[in-house]
Amino acid sequence: MGSSSPLVKPASASGQTTSSSTNSPQNRSWWARSWPLALSVALGAAGGTLTWLKHEPHSLDYAVCSANRTIYTVDSDLPNVQCIFVHDTLISDTGDLEDITLRWRDRWWSEIPLARVIHLPWPFNFLEPSPRVINIPPDSIVVPGLTDAHAHVLYYGFKMNLNLEDCTSVDDVLSHLKAYVIAHPDILGDPTRWIEGMGWDQNKWRGAQYPHANDFDREPLLRGRRISLARIDAHASWVSNRVLQLMAPLPEDIDGGVIIRDEHGKPTGIFVDNAMALIPSQPFNETRAMEDFTRATSDALAVGLTSVHDAFSAPEAIHFYKKLSETQQLPLRLYLMGGVNSDDYWGGQIPRLIQHGFGGRLTVRSVKLFADGALGSFGAALFEPYSDNPSTSGTMRLHPEALAKLVKEFSTDGWQVNIHCIGDRANHVVLDIYDDMLANASFSIDALRPRIEHAQILTPDDIKRIGKIPVIPSVQPTHATSDMWYAEDRASPTRVLPLGSDFPVAGINPLLGFYAAVSRLSVTGDSPHGPGGWYPSERLTRAETLKGMTLDAAYASFSEDILGSLSIGKKADFVVLDRDIMTVPIEDILSAKVTATVIDGEVVYGNL
């Protein structure tokens, strides 16, 4: 991409640009042909050698420049610069190319012993080195490496194996499953093999009703097979009658979850939240995990993600990531939230790792707890019953007392606590817990940085309170635009604050979240409130949104000193986009493409 030639004129020995005609390329032509011999004589007379000429800049010494100064640093001191300079894995300088070049030359010459005692007069000064410069195209921009602050890496790869997101009916799901079985001879010939997928959403279907285990038996090729399909939000699963047989006998109730039953009390095959733990699961398999991981990270790098906060990593998954980090197989940065489904303290089951492995790309210093479920599966804990399902007001997955106990135990042990909260009741309970804990002087806010994951629906009073309590609301803008079509049918509009999405629940492209945050529109440009956006007063500015995907995400993972902005001394993680998402019309944001993703100064996707 672009040119690799310097953008500066030759400098004089004093470091100032010269305009002398005697130093013009035409008048220098003889010296350009003869300088090796002349310099050899000069240095020989001084008792020197030519060995210093073999000195070369580090292979990762280069400047990335924008003639239009469209390098967005997310650094309040220098929000836009012409160039950033990369040395090894770090950003070593920022600013105008002329100034960077002069500073680079000073450092370059200082590393050459002979240059400290020999001052080269004209015409030898034109030999002064210049850094390698990469000029991005005029319409392109550079931003810090983008972070997804709440995602599920292995779940993404799992979903892509059998993705049901685009299915518009039960029959559509059955067609997808039939095609999947036919395309996999090992499953076709062995009815004991599990068929697992993800992405169905009954809210997209006519009638918006949950499916039934009997539905699978309508397709002869699926009848009697072991089928388990996770809903799009991963807070409900739909299983076949064969799986129900394997699960029998089922308990009448499950604490923190729901077994959906028909009018006769018979399970329908839908299990919500904690009830999903009853479904038989296959043991963790590293070969399959590697396939899912490779798919997820390849797709992530292609859309400019350089860091991901994985929002529930079981102990076996953490062990898997740890091995990858120690064998240089982590292509991006991972901040893991350890996860174990237990009401008892489990901090001892996971390792504490800070910037571990190759490039310091793996960190484990936080845990994920669940207060409630999701809005789409009627599991979000609300103060009032769902408007379109008055039989429920959602579910608290942990009793408030048990949740408060866990929060205190993990915080005392030095873990950052991240709690999933969707409904207003769940958010209220968690804010009470954090409020009580943070009032205790023995807990350091900066050391703990507690987070609420999603913070989607809050009462007006709790919206005010979350601005006063030093708690980090980790939100995902695409939840607003994905749930807006039914959110007001499920909860009163006076208490809705929908701000979030997490892949694979939503798309992996961070520009989807950027667009949703600044527009409050669907990808087709509409909303329940029209083309002006759904509750447009909730829009973020583009600068706020970029900061939320970079520096704010870094702060939420204790890495603001090394990540999140294009500042001197920080990691050289950055992204080049083919258009300026900070200024183009809103409808053009989603057309932007990543042309290069860079981590630790090295291109991991595309080209510079």
Longest alpha-carbon distance in the chain: 104
Which is it for strands 416-421 and 362-370: parallel, antiparallel or unpaired?
parallel
Mean per-residue pLDDT for 305-325?
97
pLDDT at 495 over 50: no
Q: What percent of the chain has pLDDT over 70?
A: 83
Residues 155-211 pLDDT 10s? 999 999 999 999 999 999 999 999 999 999 999 999 999 999 999 999 999 999 999
Q: Name the phi and psi angles at 444, rounded to 5.
A: -90, 120
Q: pLDDT at residue 9 above 70?
A: no
66: left (phi > 0), else alpha (psi -120 to 50), else beta?
beta
pLDDT of res. 503: 87
> Using 50, 70 and 90 to split pLDDT, how confident is the model at 60?
confident
Place 214 in a pLDDT band, splitting at 50, 70 and 90. Answer: very high
**pLDDT given at position 56:** 42
pLDDT band at 467 (very low <50, low <70, confident <90, very high): confident
Assess whether pLDDT exceeds 90 at residue 215.
yes
Tell me the three state secondary structure of residue 55. Answer: coil
Between 68-72, 144-148, 483-487, 494-498, the lowest mean confidence (pLDDT) is in 494-498
Q: How high does pLDDT run on average in the chain?
A: 86
In this prediction, residue 19 has a pLDDT band, given cuts at 50, 70 and 90, of very low
pLDDT of residue 337: 98
CA distances 29 to 12, 22, 34, 41, 350, Å, are 17, 11, 9, 19, 67
CA distance 150 to 332: 15
**Span 400-427, average pLDDT:** 96
Per the model's pLDDT, the better-predicted residue between 130 and 40 turns out to be 130
Distance CA 68, CA 82 (A): 7
Q: Mean pLDDT lowest for which of 234-248, 339-353, 428-442, 473-487?
A: 473-487
- Please state whether the peptide bond connecting residue 123 to the residue before it is cis, i.e. omega within 30 degrees of 0: yes
When pLDDT is cut at 50, 70 and 90, the band that residue 120 belongs to is low
126-136 pLDDT tens trace? 556 788 999 99
Whether residue 5 has pLDDT greater than 80:
no
Q: Quick check: 85 pLDDT over 60? A: yes
Contact indicator for 198, 166 with CB cutoff of 8 Å: no
Question: Over 60: is that where the pLDDT of 46 sits?
Answer: no
| Rounded average pLDDT over 521-529 | 75
The whole-angstrom separation of Cα 455 and Cα 542 is 21
Burial of 283 (0-12, 13-18, 19+ CB in 10 A): exposed
More confident residue, 155 or 107: 155
Name the pLDDT band for 494 (thresholds 50, 70, 90): very low
The residues, ordered by sequence, that sit 6+ positions from 437 with a Cβ below 8 Å of its Cβ are 407, 408, 411, 443, 450
Q: List, in order of start, the domains of the chain with CATH numbers.
A: 21-61+97-135 (no CATH), 154-278 (3.10.310.70), 288-570 (3.20.20.140)
Per-residue DSSP letters for 200-248? E-GGGSTT-----GGGGGGSTTTTT-EEEEEETTSSEEEE-HHHHHHHP
The pLDDT, as a whole number, for residue 581 is: 98
Unique residue bearing structure tokens 């379109």: 388
Give the lowest-confidence range in 55-59, 478-482, 526-530: 55-59
Place of tokens 């484990």: 364
The whole-number average pLDDT for the span 135-139 is 97
pLDDT at residue 492 tops 70: no
pLDDT over threshold 80, residue 114: no
Residue 497, pLDDT > 90, answer no
Alpha-carbon distance of 437 to 435, in angstroms, equals 6
Per-residue pLDDT band for 251 (boundaries 50, 70, 90) equals very high
**pLDDT higher than threshold 50 for residue 276:** yes
